[in-house]
Structure 1
Amino acid sequence: MTSKPLISVIVAVYNGAKTLQHCIDSVSNQTYLNKELIIIDGGSTDGTIEIIKSNQDKITYWESEPDNGIYHAWNKALGHASGDWICFLGSDDYLWKSSVFEEIIPHMIKAESQGTRMVYGQVARVTEDEEICCLDGDSWEYTWRGIIIDGIGSFAHQGMFHHRSIFELYGMFDVSFKIVGDYELLIRVFKEGGNAIFVNGLIVTGMQIGGITSNCVKLVNEMARARRKNRLRVITIPWLISYAWAICFPFLNYIIGERYVRYLVNFGKSSVTYLSYKKNVILEHKNDQ
């Protein structure tokens, strides 16, 4: 691997005229130059195409036609991506600061030297005014356990950089999933173990609260299907807690607002994962005695 690996940024968009320019600018303004931007539009009618055309000098490849959702769009983009490392964004996401790539590159170089296929940082959940509600992203030990053992979404995909070998070895996103195709891919890659590098303290991306994953019941049900597909245990105590939370989400959202609900969601996931981890450590200690 060279000292300046190519980073591919893949953006899926549909009628995202309100936010797409910010997303494009956050990529083009990166001080790290060895990068490319690929945009797949789902056939927008709101002015998105005009924004893309006005930024063609910043875009390596783009296309616009109806598709089958975000994971179908990302799969199409992978066919045009040349990067050693790939990150995936929605049109309302944006890289947090101009030095994100510069700061993540040393960790990518270290990861490839170790055969590690993922490097990630934190994601800031923000309001429309870009006020931070909370930060997603924790150590790989907790993140892996949340994904594989506990069956909860204890990660934010927008903060992750995937080595291209992931898609060569494990395939692309399963387009039958509309919300958790990223979660299902991570199960495939890491269910037998494997390491990832967490860059603590580095905010990679800003992500607006709301969007497709705000449909909590559908989210939890799709996660269950992803686990069944990969022959992982579905009914766990953390998963049951997540399901109960999903049922309560619309009421709580109405009462206290999405910003504070999101904070509670993150606090709850962190607490459940931590308690599950501590329980496992205690059990392993007993078994070793």
Structure 2
Amino acid sequence: MTSLSPDLISVIVAVFNGIDTLQQCIDSIAQQTYANKELIIIDGGSKDGTVDVLESNRDKLGYWVSEPDSGIYNAWNKGLSQAKGEWICFLGADDFFWDAQVLERMASQLMTVPPDIRVAYGQIMLLNNNGENLYPIGEPWQGVKERFKQVMSIPHPGLMHRRSLFEQHGNFDESFRIGGDYELLLRELKEADAVFVPGLIMIGMRQGGLSSSPANSVESMWDVRRAQKMHGLRLPGFFWVMAMIRVYIRLILWNLIGERMTRKFIDFGRRVKGLPPYWTKT
């Protein structure tokens, strides 16, 4: 990481073959009313025209590079080596800031965060593949603090990491394919606290990433468990066990009755519990 610039917010974006969504991501950052920001984009050697998008947006980028990498955590670590901000957030090319005032509103809250708090977050809006809003996720820290030690219970896109978090704990562990963001946050939040900013939707997040398919959901849950073991949590907790049972039921149904019927069945169960539909909408 490079030398600190007080009050600067660094936004690091990882992309690979993201031509369909990258421009919206860049525009959402460039249009922020908060001026003291930098945008760092790490491309994994795209071949679909992504590099052309980066070239045409040079004036909006503080730094960018296009070269092969070993995954999203390797890309984000490359971005960290260039970041100058006191606060740092991470996006994928499918993500975008929800409106032009997001960083300004978050920055005003960050000014009041005690120095010993190094994680701050708002909500993210889940979107389906057609760009339609599903529902926001993200709850106050005190309500999810204990659950976080078992499952990823806070949204990572747009989450603000104080620079000192990386200085104390190091960068993302690149041996993870899906769960590296959880493992990084667990280093800090297994003992420390985070700050939730109510009423602030940070990011629009399209569904369909690595962890959305049943097989990848299983891998994601085992990544979470590996992270817990790394940090002294020897036994899985109730929330992790229940989440894993749901993942395996979904995988079994997917193979037995097909994807379409499984999606309908799961969303029927969500409606019974008073939750909005998800699986038939994505």
Bin the TM-score by the shorter chain: 0.7 to 0.9
Query: What's the TM-score, normalizing by structure 2?
Result: 0.87
Structure 1's unaligned 5+ residue stretches are: 270-289
| Cα distance in 2 between the residues matched to 1:100 and 1:256 | 36
SS at match of 2:184: helix
RMSD: 2.3
| Cα distance in 1 between the residues matched to 2:61 and 2:235 | 41
Residue number in structure 1 paired with 2:118: 117
1:240: how far off?
A: 1.2
Amino acid at match of 1:237: F
Residue number in structure 1 paired with 2:247: 246
SS at match of 1:159: coil
| Cα distance in 1 between the residues matched to 2:145 and 2:43 | 32
| Cα distance in 1 between the residues matched to 2:235 and 2:78 | 30
| Cα distance in 2 between the residues matched to 1:255 and 1:198 | 37
Pick from 206, 209, 217 the counterpart of residue 208 of structure 1.
206
Residue number in structure 2 paired with 1:44: 46
| Cα distance in 1 between the residues matched to 2:96 and 2:109 | 21
Residues 240 and 268 of structure 1, relative CA distance in 2, 3 Å threshold: farther
| Cα distance in 2 between the residues matched to 1:109 and 1:145 | 26
| Cα distance in 2 between the residues matched to 1:142 and 1:159 | 20
Residue number in structure 2 paired with 1:133: 134
Correspondence 1:91 to 2:93? yes
- Matches for 1:148-227 after TM superposition, within 5 Å: 148=149, 151-191=150-190, 193-214=191-212, 215-227=216-228
CA deviation map 1:178-203 (0-9, x unaligned): 10101001111121x22221011100
Residue number in structure 2 paired with 1:108: 110
The answer to whether the Cα contact below 8 Å between 1:107 and 1:197 also exists between their aligned partners in 2 is no
| Cα distance in 2 between the residues matched to 1:147 and 1:216 | 17
SS at match of 1:38: strand
SS at match of 2:69: coil
Structure 2's unaligned 5+ residue stretches are: 1-5, 276-282
| Cα distance in 1 between the residues matched to 2:148 and 2:159 | 14
Residue number in structure 1 paired with 2:261: 255
Residue number in structure 1 paired with 2:14: 12
Pick from 60, 63, 70 the counterpart of residue 68 of structure 1.
70
CA deviation map 1:231-289 (0-9, x unaligned): 1134222111111111133436532649x75x949x899xxxxxxxxxxxxxxxxxxxx
Amino acid at match of 2:243: S
Query: What's the TM-score, normalizing by structure 1?
Result: 0.85
| Cα distance in 2 between the residues matched to 1:212 and 1:238 | 22
CA deviation map 1:103-142 (0-9, x unaligned): 111211111x443111110011101232221211111113
Paired positions, count: 260
| Cα distance in 1 between the residues matched to 2:128 and 2:87 | 29
Residues 13 and 264 of structure 1, relative CA distance in 2, 3 Å threshold: farther
The answer to whether the Cα contact below 8 Å between 2:250 and 2:262 also exists between their aligned partners in 1 is no
SS at match of 2:85: coil
Residues 264 and 135 of structure 1, relative CA distance in 2, 3 Å threshold: farther
| Cα distance in 2 between the residues matched to 1:45 and 1:131 | 28
Q: Kindly, what percent of the aligned residue pairs are identical?
A: 44
The answer to whether the Cα contact below 8 Å between 2:17 and 2:46 also exists between their aligned partners in 1 is yes
The answer to whether the Cα contact below 8 Å between 2:121 and 2:196 also exists between their aligned partners in 1 is yes
More helix by share: 1
| Cα distance in 1 between the residues matched to 2:177 and 2:35 | 33
| Cα distance in 2 between the residues matched to 1:57 and 1:103 | 24
SS at match of 1:5: strand
